[in-house]
Amino acid sequence: MSPSELETELTQHHRAAFGWALACCRWDRTMAEDVLQTAYLKIVDGRARYAGRSAFRTWLFGVIRRTAGEERRRRAVRRVLPLAGLDDRHAPRAPGPDPADVLARAESSMRLVEALRLLPSRQREVLHLVFYHELSIAEAAAVMRVSLGTARTHYERGKARLRTLLGEAPHV
């Protein structure tokens, strides 16, 4: 795929990719933007190559998911290292939603985000891919690099738990 074709594809999927990056970063907007830029850079400079084995969006989401995992591990290491406190950019922030995010979102969306945050990562990912991005469970399994059966199990359990959480979650 030529660089211009890549750029066209990325432009086309940019908004969905940002939504997926947010989900992978547990709605930490700053981290999601960093992850998205790093993922784009990987794709543009050839460290991540699209081989055409799946849909472009499925592959792109896989790259974003891996990049988010790497970023989480990097931040965890920095948090453990004694010099991590000197670097303000990676200082651990208070858990919970970004205040700017809270202002920008509607109440029902905030409740959904809060409920999704409480889910295990696999369940959150599969629900996000299926309901938010309208992928099939098989495509979600490909993004998550798990078997179809595993994805289906996470989907069913996650959906049941999300319903419970949405029914019981307090209003923000």
Partner 1 sequence: MSERDAADVELRARFAALAAEDARAAPRFAVPRVGRVRRVVSRPLAAAATAVLMAGAGYTWWATRPRAAAPYPIDLASVTWTAPTDFLLDTPGLALLRDVPSFTAGTGAAGRIAPALTDDTVRRTPS
Radius of gyration of the chain, Cα coordinates, nearest whole angstrom: 17
Q: Does 11 bind partner 1 (CB under 8 A)?
A: yes
Q: Does 106 bind partner 1 (CB under 8 A)?
A: yes
Q: Does 8 bind partner 1 (CB under 8 A)?
A: no
d(CA 54, CA 48): 14
The answer to whether 31 and 64 have CB atoms below 8 angstroms apart is no
Identify which range of 58-66, 75-83, 88-96, 104-112 contacts partner 1 by CB under 8 A: 104-112
What is the smallest separation between the CB atom of 4 and partner 1, expressed in angstroms? 11
d(CA 111, CA 117): 10
d(CA 97, CA 103): 10
Task: Report which residue type is found at 129.
Answer: L
How many residues bind partner 1 (CB under 8 A)? The answer is 32
Q: Does 164 bind partner 1 (CB under 8 A)?
A: no
The answer to whether 140 and 151 have CB atoms below 8 angstroms apart is yes
Q: Does 162 bind partner 1 (CB under 8 A)?
A: yes
If the CB atoms of residues 74 and 92 are measured against partner 1, the closer one turns out to be 74
What is the smallest separation between the CB atom of 106 and partner 1, expressed in angstroms? 7
What is the smallest separation between the CB atom of 141 and partner 1, expressed in angstroms? 19
CB atoms within 10 A of CB 7: 14
If the CB atoms of residues 92 and 120 are measured against partner 1, the closer one turns out to be 120
- Tell me the CA distances in angstroms from 133 to 83, 97, 104, 172, one per residue in order: 39, 22, 21, 25
d(CA 126, CA 155): 6
Pick the binder of partner 1 from 33, 55, 122, 146 (CB under 8 A).
Answer: 33
Binding site residues, partner 1, CB under 8 A: 7, 10-11, 14-15, 18-19, 22, 29, 33, 36-37, 40-41, 44-45, 104-106, 108-109, 112-113, 127-128, 131-133, 159, 162-163, 166
